[in-house]
Structure 1
Amino acid sequence: MIDTGVAAVPRLAGRLRGGGDYLAGGDGLDDCDGHGTDVALLLAGAADGTGIGAGMAPGAGLVSLRQSSARFAVRDDDGTERPAGEIRTLAAAVDRAVALGASVINVSEVVCVPADRLDDVAAPLRTAVAAARRADVLVVAAAGNLDPAGTCTGDPGLRPLPALYDAVLAVGAVDGDDRPAPFSVAGPWVDVAAPGVGLPAPAGPEGAVVSGTSYAAPLVAGTAALVRERFPMLTAGQVADRLRATARRPGAGRDDRVGDGVLDPSAALSAEPLLLVPGPGGPTAGGTAGGPGTPQGATAPLPAPTPRPPDLPAVAGIGAVAAAGGALAAVLAGLRRRTGGARRFLSS
């Protein structure tokens, strides 16, 4: 979890540890924005006292790195102030998450930069993301929100980071009826989409809802954590391919707003054959991530098993796999129950 920090709330008890704080020093378990805590609960929160409200992977172990905040400000060279969070520290947080043994990294933040500045401004982040993929770590990132006053203004010359990179699984947002959210940044880099409109705010007051690609990303990351446990022999790239191949495809084919389709957790955890790659006509059996497909039903060699990183709690048991589709349904049910609540929009 690279975000605004994650508070040590009861629904994460025993599964949350700090990885560091790039804003104020510390362990990453302070969250004065509330954003990171909401994202963490959508990803891995346990059910509340009534047995509802579980996140996508309610047994996953989480490591929190606080790297951004709307409550902290930094001053640019021209004297203007902006919320804290730098590409340089985001790159450092990705590197640290890999070093701490994460198998999935969720980045529910984005910065849009001019395309002609990618080689200089974004070089450290590009290097960190590439290193994560080489280490067999899956990076899941929000596609970003259109915001005339922010960095993602809709200017076609801007590119969202880290969502832009091929080694990142970029997530757009849809509403409860799978319609693309009007604020979700579109582009050929978008891989999949997930619900991100009017979701119940897990750490907020009763009736509060949140919207943004920030909140779609953890639903995908949580599903990825379950897939990585159920199929530990799959590489990070093969997990990403499986999520894309099993997504509910747009009727007209791939779409820059939702990528290959809308997340389908049940299909991701149960579809056969094991190795799938997305394609224009639907998923096909495949060998290695990004490699050519083979005829449906063909047998493909499996990669060597990936050992579990040391010193991390195990993610949710296989019993939780069957509940993953229900978790997404519960999110949508909560959306429909709470549509009259206060609305909170955040940067991504």
Structure 2
Amino acid sequence: MSTPLAGLPARVEVYEVGPRDGLQNEAVALPVEVKAEFVRRLAAAGLRTVELTSFVPKRWIPQLGDAEELLALLGGDQPARAPVLVPNEKGLERAVAAGAREVAVFASATESFARRNLNRTVAESLAAFAPVVEQARTAGLPVRGYVSMCFGDPWEGAVPLEQVAAVALRLAEFGCAEISLGDTIGVGTPGQVAALLALLDREGLGADRLAVHFHDTYGQALANTLLALQHGVTTVDASAGGLGGCPYAGSATGNLATEDLVWQLDGLGVDTGVDLPALARTSLWMADRLGRPSPSRALAALAPTLTTPTDQES
């Protein structure tokens, strides 16, 4: 039974990142057929947006070295929105050739992470993204811009909000239709989230163009999400089963679990279109293939109540 809370949106778009941001940090490199089945199951559970993969060089992230094969294998079996991450112009060329319909670029709010993740300064990385966004838009592809390390950096500590806003505003100026604010190492708290959203709003970047991407290192992801929804954000990134972290930030734990998010939103009467039992069965299926339990608390609570015919499936 749901009990609505005043000030929340009627519907939230769950932006599922498990196949990309989740699997990129798993020790097990899954066969491409398993990844394709994962995407199909997520879509069947009602997730309209599923970030499929990343067109980065295989030597960078070997777990996602089969991007072209994944898109070819999926064919028309893709969700309504099926974005892919591209690191540069070459990655964009590969994505377009593979038939991608939407792309995302990944910027950093801090110099330390920009150098470790992109091998460039913040300014250099933004300059490199400008033509990527322009070319993608010319090709008719919507572009999402990620901003990582929005609240804390493992090498630099607390991150000034003005520094985060400057990167987000630049991505918006380039033409990114949506900006996702990432708490990459999971240190943010609701007051910081409120302050950043208020600053961006004053700078002309409203909640209608923002998404939030929280990691749950200190157990703050759901609290931060609720605060963001109360400030008008309606797109929330999450990862089925809480998969993933960040391969370039050792202190980053898993993403907000999609099951935990949907359980909360269902309880608040907020529509997501997601079938929670179907999603939970999918995450249990994936956990079995990865050979480890999921950190999702909602999934652990739901698991005993689920029938699991998927245990016998591929």
TM exceeding 0.5: no
Q: Which has the higher strand share?
A: 1
TM-score (norm 1): 0.36
TM-score (norm 2): 0.39
Q: Which has the higher helix share?
A: 2
